[in-house]
A and B are shown apart, each in its own frame.
Chain A
Amino acid sequence: MSGTKQGFWSIVRREIVRMQSRPLYGLSMIFAPLFCFVFFTSLMREGLPESLPAGVVDEDNTPVSRSILRNLDSYQQTEIIRQYSSFAEAREAMQKNEIYGFFYIPKGTQEKASSQEQPKISIYTNATYLIPSSLLYRDMKTMATMASAAVGREVLLAKGASMDQAMGFLQPIKMDMRPLGNPWLNYNVYLSNTMLPAVLALMILMVTCFSIHTELKDGTSREWLSMSGDNILKAVSAKLFPQTMVFSLMALIYLVILYGWLSFPHHNGFWPMFAAAELLILASQGFAVFMASAIPSLRWSLSLCTLWGVLSIPISGFSFPVMGMPAPLQALSYMFPLRYYFLIYVDQALNGIPLVYSAWYYVAMMAFIILPLVDISLLRKAAHEYTYLP
């Protein structure tokens, strides 16, 4: 203890040396986030999946069924790759993952058509794979309706109706869907905007907790604390300061990737999202310090931080809305910094509404930063007395 320098900056310098001494820090603070940034944005670079493989089954095999097949024009997102001879064969292809869906024209279609009954096409999709299944359904439904309308429209037009009248009869009420903020239904926008900060937040939670508790484990915590003049707040903030800088750089990188390079919607400009990202970093650090102080065991506090980081991904509600979750989990979702980040993103980047609507979310994130004040004295005590148990 004697001979070591005191003060904020000497702890910062000490921490930088510690971080450089182990490749683990570089791997988890720089490599892991960067890998995920590149992975997610490149994985879904198409935005919306195109040419999803689908099939057809024509068990009727008559002029009528063949004319239906001819009218199933391909759409951008659907590609009919094969015709199967039976329903069973198509189902097997689906189970083998060759196709995500198929059209089925049953036997007797022509007979029905000629006896003035309505023939029916069935659309089957494999909802085990939810995204391709939903997209195929949308396309295949349109294809089937268009094929049907094509037949009806021809008759109407031949009888002297105008195009306007024909459509007015075939489909009197039409829906005009206007998706706000993401009119392309781009999955990259939908997922990456939350996935990238989620991975960063997960790493922050773990690294923060790990780096504090290794001081205890390695028995260096007394030295660390004495450098701050026994001021635990100073000790912790100086220790985390260089990490905050590295994570801020990472945040800057993903913001530039998302809003600069890929030009995802950011209707209120760069700064509201930059502020949200900075707050997410500080809030995650705050939460991790809170956990590290509350539980004086590296393994258990690290386990809880990990659980929190992983759980924040589904519970932030970006893939499955929070309103659809059971009530206890809805309440729990307020305990996750990422939830607020997601809400800010929706307001500020996707929908671009006035900042005042998101004010409370920013405030909530700030609350996480001061959360450690509750129990940090426990950490001070532990730093003095703790001995590591594996």
Chain B
Amino acid sequence: MWVKNLLDVCGKELRRTLSDVGVLVFFIIVPLLYPLLYAYLYSREVVREVPVVVVDECRSATSREFLRKSDATADLKIVSYCSDMEEARNLMHRHKAYGVIHVPAEFERTLSEGRQATINLYCDMSGLLYYKAMLSGCTIVSLDMNRDIQMQRLSGLSDWEKEAMTMPIENEYVTMFNPTNGFQTFLIPAVLILVLQQTLVLGVAMLAGTENERRRSGALVLGQEYGNPIVVLAGKGLAYLLVYGFTATYVLCFVPWLFHMPQLWQLPTLVAFVVPFLLASIFFAICISFFVRDRESCFLLFVFVSVPLIFMSGISWPTSNMPAFWKVFAQLFPSTHGVNGFARINTAGALLQDVRTESITLWIQSGVYFMLSLLIYERLYRSDKMPGAEFILNIRTHVRKNLRVAVRDVEEVRQDLKEKAGKLRNRGKQEPN
């Protein structure tokens, strides 16, 4: 019997969803287009040929070699040779260049004396990628030239230099999972997960807002339309899950494929992880949708949240360095665990056991948000009223009452301590006598 009811609710919800253009925009169009736009924006992965200017006060063969080689790297492009720093600064101010390579006059002489010679790099810090490009471009060239210089000196050479040459330990660098150190590979997985959660929240909230508007206008009476709350919630959840089965496949599998991003996932892992993520997001969405009064307010309430959410996931600023409060707060949102899990499954080829913490948390979230929705829905179902303002008022009086009690308690403890301190002080005074 309840299965039939469940399918009934599910079918009704599907029809309601598919016939509402506003909701379809969130469920289909935004997930369809937005990831493409974002991936396209970062499709070049890194910045290449950052324009820099040169102030070469040395004008020697070595300095010219250094500059020529820097210009030849993919990172940098020398756009102008300036006679002094003033001219270089002027070009920086006009955004013609984002860095200055300055070779001091004594560069060649210092080098020929066998001492360490310095090249100064001035870098515009409006973007860290300029800094990165300049640092890596010039470092590659200097390492290369250092080796040449050492070889030249060795041909002349004393024994101890030879010996030292063979001793140093070389090092090599491997960036794992994101071979170009690219922005797209790093940021897009997080954006994809966030798009799924946020469109769900917005769409479900819009449905709830519409329902609420209809109820206010008397077009909808709750008691008649709905049955057992558990069945209703499960039915709705099933309907959204069906829609998002398609949406998620497109967003998480097709978009990265289209942009040739790393895709190291294995199907069982991906499915086993994405299902709890979608369930958690769905019931999270239903849970907060109860507080939406009309169709369009979901924009104002939930869109901006995406911005802090992407940072809470720790994909950008590392989780290990977040203040404890935000770390705990971030646990409330499915996206935090979704982003962390999916980024590692997709980009780093993690298996289900590697993302166990995240997937267990998502299952717990699904359960908790389901129960919470049930609780609110139960009230709603019985009273045929939205918990909206009244619900918040109740919470407020409750909190206020408890606060008052807490304040009183603190006051009592303070008095108590005062008395004790007074007694101690008195005793202290008496003892010396």
Contact = CB atoms under 8 A, between A and B. Distances in A.
Contact of A27 (B161, B300, B314): B300
B304 interface: yes
Interface stretch (A8-16, A28-36, A225-233, A368-376): A28-36
Interface stretch (A173-181, A240-248, A252-260): A173-181
Given A35-B308, A210-B296, A302-B299, A176 B120 contact: yes
A390 B210 contact: yes
A321 B43 CA distance: 12
A40 B326 CA distance: 10
Nearest to A131: B316
A170 B349 CA distance: 40
Contacts of B123: 177-180
Given A43-B326, A175-B119, A24 B300 contact: yes
Interface in A65-124: 68, 91-92, 94-97, 100, 113, 116-124
A225 to B, nearest CB: 21
B307 interface: yes
A128 interface: yes
Contacts of A128: 177-178, 185-186, 189, 343-344, 347-348
A152 interface: yes
B178 A176 contact: no
Contacts of A137: 173, 175
Given A119-B170, A176-B119, A321-B130, A169 B343 contact: no
B354 A177 contact: no
A109 B119 CA distance: 34
Interface stretch (A194-202, A268-276, A278-286): A194-202
Interface in B16-47: 22, 25, 37-38, 40-44, 46-47
Describe A's contact surface by its main secondary structure. Answer: helix
Interface stretch (B144-152, B359-367, B370-378, B415-423): B144-152
B344 to A, nearest CB: 6
Contacts of B42: 314, 320, 325
Identify which of A50, A100, A127, A148 gathers the most chain B CB atoms within 10 Å of its CB.
A127
Interface in A281-314: 298-299, 302-303, 306, 309-311, 313-314
B128 A185 contact: yes
Q: Place the interface of chain B in its size category.
A: 35 or more
Contacts, number: 333
Nearest to A172: B149
Contact of A127 (B25, B160, B177, B303): B177
A147 B127 contact: no
A133 B93 CA distance: 31
B164 interface: yes
Contact of B125 (A28, A147, A350, A353): A350
Interface in B101-151: 111, 113-132, 134-135, 138-139, 142, 145-146, 149-150
B186 A129 contact: yes
Given A95-B344, A325-B44, A174 B124 contact: no
Contacts of B174: 122-125
Contacts of A123: 171-174
A203 B301 CA distance: 10
A42 interface: yes
A174 B169 contact: no
Given A128-B343, A130-B183, A170 B171 contact: no
Contacts of B187: 130
Nearest to A121: B171
B317 interface: yes
B124 A351 contact: yes
Contacts of A221: none
A122 B173 CA distance: 6
B170 A121 contact: yes
A3 B175 CA distance: 72
B321 interface: yes
Contacts of B122: 178, 180
A316 to B, nearest CB: 11
A206 B48 CA distance: 36
A119 B134 CA distance: 28
Contacts of B260: none
A228 B36 CA distance: 44
Contact of A36 (B125, B307, B316): B307
A333 B411 CA distance: 58
Nearest to A102: B176
B381 interface: no
B176 A124 contact: yes
Contacts of A152: 164, 167-168
Given A95-B349, A167-B116, A351-B124, A28 B321 contact: no
18 contacts: A39-B311, A94-B176, A119-B169, A122-B171, A122-B174, A128-B343, A130-B183, A133-B181, A167-B115, A167-B116, A172-B145, A172-B150, A174-B117, A178-B122, A199-B304, A202-B304, A342-B126, A390-B295
Interface of A: 24, 27-28, 32, 35-36, 39-40, 42-46, 49-53, 68, 91-92, 94-97, 100, 113, 116-134, 137-138, 141, 144-145, 147-149, 151-152, 155-156, 159-161, 164-165, 167-182, 185, 187, 190, 195, 198-199, 202-203, 206-207, 210, 213-214, 217, 298-299, 302-303, 306, 309-311, 313-315, 317-321, 323-326, 329, 342, 346-347, 350-351, 353-354, 357, 390
